[in-house]
Amino acid sequence: MKHTISILVENKAGVLSRISGLFSRRGFNIDSLAVGVTENPEVSRITIVADGDDHTAQQLEKQLNKLVDTMKVKTLDDNELIERELRLIKVSAYPAQRSEILTICDVMGARIIDMTPSTLTIEICDSQANLERFNNMIEGYRIKELVRTGVIAIQKGSVTIK
């Protein structure tokens, strides 16, 4: 089962390695990890998507809380979160295929951000479910390169994690 965990940490050197080290040390698998500074420059927010059962997730939350640099850990409820991932995709696209790909991008809300006679570079930012749909449409073309940011997530409504 997938768990989306938001962690607020001190924005200091070495913190990310402590967090990621904890995951590997305790045998938790990370699906994706994204990190960046928050509205407060002293605080970073890490979003981790990890796989494991509920006991594992609970342990993970407690172990993360034990790290001295950790301010707040919250496992986000799947129904209460808005999640996004940005993907950059370079696909082979000869002139005959271009319009098909452009149509897919148009329908799915993706953008073309670069173009050569033989390739198109696509940018798409969406939820995991929509990215999966887009992927199903595009994977018939030859994907030369795929770059992902990892998931970031925020709670719906006015609640915040502080």
Partner 1 sequence: MISAARAMVKCLENEGISVVFGYPGAAICPFYDELARSKIKHVLVRHEANGGHAASGYARMTNKPAVCIATSGPGATNLLTAIATAYADSVPLICITGQVSTDSIGCDVFQEVDITGAAEPFVKHSYLIKDAAQLPRIFKEAFYIAGTGRKGPVLIDVPQDVQTALIDFEYPETVTMRTYKPTVKGNPMQIKKICEALEQSKKPLICAGGGIFLAGAEDELRAFVEKSGIPAVSTMMGLSLFPSKHPLYQGMLGMHGVRSANYAVNSCDTLIIAGARVGDRAVRSPISLADGKKIIHIDIDPAEIGKNIPVDIPLVGDCKAILSEMTEKISTVDYSGWIEELSAVKNAEPEGEETEGYINPKMFMKKLSNALPDNVVCVADVGQNQIWACNNFEIRSGGRFLTTGGMGTMGYSIPCGIGAKLAAPDREVVVVCGDGSFQMEMMELATMMQEKIAVKIVIMRNKRLGMVRELQTKMYNDVQIAVHLDGDPDFVALAKAYGIEAERVSTMADAEEKIARLASSDKPYLLECNVYKLESTL
| Closer of 68 and 129 to partner 1 (Cβ) | 68
Which residues neighbour 74 within 8 Å (Cβ) at sequence distance 6 or greater? 5, 6, 7, 161
- Shortest reach from residue 125's CB to partner 1, in Å: 31
Output the CA–CA distances (angstroms, integers) from residue 81 to 62, 75, 107, 125, 160, in the order listed: 21, 10, 24, 16, 11
- Shortest reach from residue 61's CB to partner 1, in Å: 9
Distance CA 155, CA 45 (A): 13
- Shortest reach from residue 66's CB to partner 1, in Å: 6
| Closer of 14 and 109 to partner 1 (Cβ) | 14
Catalog residues that contact partner 1 under the rule CB under 8 A. 9-10, 13-14, 17-18, 21, 25, 55, 58-59, 62-63, 65-66, 68-71
| Closer of 59 and 128 to partner 1 (Cβ) | 59
